[in-house]
Structure 1
Amino acid sequence: MKDRVESTDIVIVGAGIAGLSTSLGLHRLGLGSLVLETSDCLRVTGFAYLTWPNGWKALDALGIADTLRQQHELLQGLVAISIITGRPTSQISFTNGQENSSGGGTHEVRSVGRKLLLETLANELPHGTIRFNSKVVLIEEDGYSKLIHLADGSVIRTKVLIGCDGVNSVVAKWLGLQEATFIGRATIRGLASFEEGEDHRFGSSFLQLFGKGCRSGFVPCNKKTVHWFFQYNSATLPEEEEPSKLKQYVLDNLGEKAPKEVIDVVKKTNLGSIISSPLRTRMPWKVYFGNIYRNNVSVAGDALHSMTPDIGQGACAALEDGIILARCLGQALLSSSENPTSKSVFEDEVISDREEEDMYFRVEEGLDKFARERRWRSLDLITTAYYMGSIQQGSGRVINYVRDNFLSSYLTRVLLRRTEFDCGKL
């Protein structure tokens, strides 16, 4: 049996944003990794992500930001409109040149296509880094290593295991993190594509609509595509619906006060470009006090801080994780940077028991540092997203009045402050 066990130094479970950014960060530092992906190809559902300044800092650190900038337009600002009154409740510029943290200022914001982001990350990795059709079914201890059992019967021994396998993470369950909880809301997403000569008429602003227990957003990715979402309250887990029914539900609930260009975008969306999903979050105190890591195992991305999309930070936080996790592991596993010929402690093919033990504790030290850096940030993002969503989708007369007249601008400033985080360099 042992002859059939494959050995590799660092295994990352999940080829999503967190997994690929961690792997690329490690690669930039000279550390190889193996990324296990359950699907038979990159998972590109979800269409697009709002990528805020903190996300662009991470992409800059990975060296792929300029490639993505060339293919996505810079958003000029955010406009929030009440579908009850039809009037704007707040307007904030992303590019007015003010350097502050009060909600105004210069903020680089673009809507980035998920497919393009994942492909850009994957294309920067060495051939063979991602192994598809690799579903993890069991994790076992084996001295200073972990044994990863796959659904096809193969086994991989690794010195470092990182779970970036999403909301239903196998690695998070092994660590004992509480499963993400359904919060009584669901979302419908779509991507509208316009042909040559057509105009989506959104300009370069992120448009949000609030009221009647619903929240929606319309974001131009470039001159020909608009990504949109529609969130609604749901007492039970929504069943899978046909795209035609989802589309009609959105049109029926946008309200008579919704701008015409909003209605046109939804009508323009092909049925194959509409999906729905329930919203889940990991309770913030469970993340803060839970096991983000144990020994040589840790989690990142949605496996760590699954949150509602109300502040658009899921993808950006995953990119932050990738940079910080790669840096922490690099500092633990690479020789002193003062030595120009610094090398990985993994480079020796044969190591003694004492060296293996030392490596084990260095990995644990690196993951402990990662956990200390990410606990408070994760708690802050999860909590902010949950309460902002609850306020934005409130349906009572009092909450509608207070939100539209007093809270809208404040909530936008709160959102922008969360985007000013700097994950640093590799």
Structure 2
Amino acid sequence: MNMKEPCYAGYVATRGIAEYPDGHNLGDRARQILGSGVRAGFVPMNANKAYWFVVFNSSGEKLTNVDLVRKEALDYVRLWPTMITEAINRSPPETLSRKRLADRWMWPVGGPPLYQGGVTLAGDAMHPMTPNLGQGGCCALEDAVVLARSLSKVLVTTDPPAAAWATRSQAQEMQEIELALRSYTEERWRRMLPLAIRSNITGAVLQIDNDFVCSVRNMIISSFVTVDRFLDHTNYDCGSLY
């Protein structure tokens, strides 16, 4: 499809799942702690496991050794609350991951076509985005619903399938499918472009590496950014399958 490679956002995320055989005291609330050029967060999964992440500014060099990945994450938060370092140390090696965060904005014009020859894209293949809004997987599910609905308008008829398709030539079939894919991609870019830009800007603000600017940022966030406002992008209905 000749899609460009996603653009590196300038920071890396190390993630893992901490295990607490005797239970943890993290409660049931997700939380995020902001620093200068680094942030960390928790999302309790159940009474004995918690997902965590450490995001830090980086030139993007690769690191695959699990022990070094753990050490690197610990180095960035060594002076932070012990619950963070404890979570990192409690994570089995197989749960650790380290990824360069990147995105590609889904412009409506000026780029390669998002559908061709009856083929289209969905999820990260179409619109990779930084995870700052927590919407990557959600948007992929939205893609599935919108794509199925768009195709159903041309593939599902009230007539028996054999009779319906018998009256169409192969060229007509492909033309109708292409129109459905066009409808799908047009609907999705209207959703995804603003979301990808917002996620990118959010990440840039959260990754500021200047102590004074960070203090101003933290004051503004704590004073004016409510949970409802931060999560308003999740109040989206992509419609039904049919």
TM-score if structure 1 supplies the norm length? 0.52
DSSP-derived class of the 2:11 partner: strand
Give, as a single letter, the amino acid of the residue that structure 2 aligns with 1:208. Q
Q: Contact 1:287–1:378 at 8 Å: present in 2 too?
A: no
Greater displacement, 286-295 / 221-230: 286-295
**Structure 1 segment 361-376 matched on structure 2, within 5 A:** 361-376=175-190
2:154 matched to which residue of 1?
332
Give, as a single letter, the amino acid of the residue that structure 1 aligns with 2:108. Y
Aligned partners of 1:412, 1:379: CA distance in 2, in Å? 22
Q: Contact 1:280–1:306 at 8 Å: present in 2 too?
A: yes
Return 5+ residue gaps in structure 2 as ranges: none
Superposed CA deviations along residues 151-194 of structure 1, whole A, max 9, x for unmatched, are xxxxxxxxxxxxxxxxxxxxxxx2x3322112221111101122
Q: Does 1:194 align with 2:20?
A: yes
Q: Contact 1:391–1:399 at 8 Å: present in 2 too?
A: no
Which residue of 132, 136, 139 maps to 1:310?
A: 132
Q: Contact 2:8–2:102 at 8 Å: present in 1 too?
A: yes
Aligned partners of 2:147, 2:160: CA distance in 1, in Å? 18
Give, as a single letter, the amino acid of the residue that structure 1 aligns with 2:7. T
Aligned partners of 1:350, 1:410: CA distance in 2, in Å? 54
Aligned partners of 1:381, 1:411: CA distance in 2, in Å? 18
1:404 matched to which residue of 2?
218
Aligned partners of 1:248, 1:327: CA distance in 2, in Å? 47
DSSP-derived class of the 2:43 partner: strand
**Structure 1 segment 218-367 matched on structure 2, within 5 A:** 218-235=42-59, 237-256=60-79, 258-282=80-104, 284=105, 286-289=106-109, 290=111, 291-335=113-157, 339=158, 342-344=159-161, 347=162, 351=166, 354-367=168-181
Q: CA deviation at 1:224?
A: 1.7
The change in CA–CA distance for 1:369 and 1:397 in structure 2 (over 3 A counts) is: same
Q: Contact 1:200–1:265 at 8 Å: present in 2 too?
A: no
Give, as a single letter, the amino acid of the residue that structure 2 aligns with 1:201. N
Q: CA RMSD in A?
A: 2.2
Which residue of 40, 50, 65 maps to 1:216?
A: 40
The change in CA–CA distance for 1:411 and 1:187 in structure 2 (over 3 A counts) is: farther
Return 5+ residue gaps in structure 1 as ranges: 1-173
Q: CA deviation at 1:292?
A: 2.0
Q: Contact 2:150–2:181 at 8 Å: present in 1 too?
A: yes
TM-score if structure 2 supplies the norm length? 0.89
Percent of aligned pairs with the same amino acid: 29
Aligned partners of 2:169, 2:101: CA distance in 1, in Å? 45
- Pick the structure with more strand per residue: 1
Aligned partners of 2:38, 2:229: CA distance in 1, in Å? 20
Q: CA deviation at 1:355?
A: 2.2
Aligned partners of 1:391, 1:270: CA distance in 2, in Å? 31
Q: CA deviation at 1:261?
A: 2.4
Q: Contact 2:36–2:211 at 8 Å: present in 1 too?
A: no
Aligned partners of 2:135, 2:54: CA distance in 1, in Å? 17
Aligned partners of 1:390, 1:382: CA distance in 2, in Å? 12
Give, as a single letter, the amino acid of the residue that structure 2 aligns with 1:304. M
The change in CA–CA distance for 1:250 and 1:331 in structure 2 (over 3 A counts) is: same
Give, as a single letter, the amino acid of the residue that structure 1 aligns with 2:230. L
Give, as a single letter, the amino acid of the residue that structure 2 aligns with 1:224. N
Q: CA deviation at 1:348?
A: 6.6
Query: Would you say how many aligned residue pairs link Structure 1 and Structure 2?
Result: 238
Q: Contact 1:300–1:318 at 8 Å: present in 2 too?
A: yes
Aligned partners of 2:156, 2:229: CA distance in 1, in Å? 38
Give, as a single letter, the amino acid of the residue that structure 1 aligns with 2:61. P
1:423 matched to which residue of 2?
238
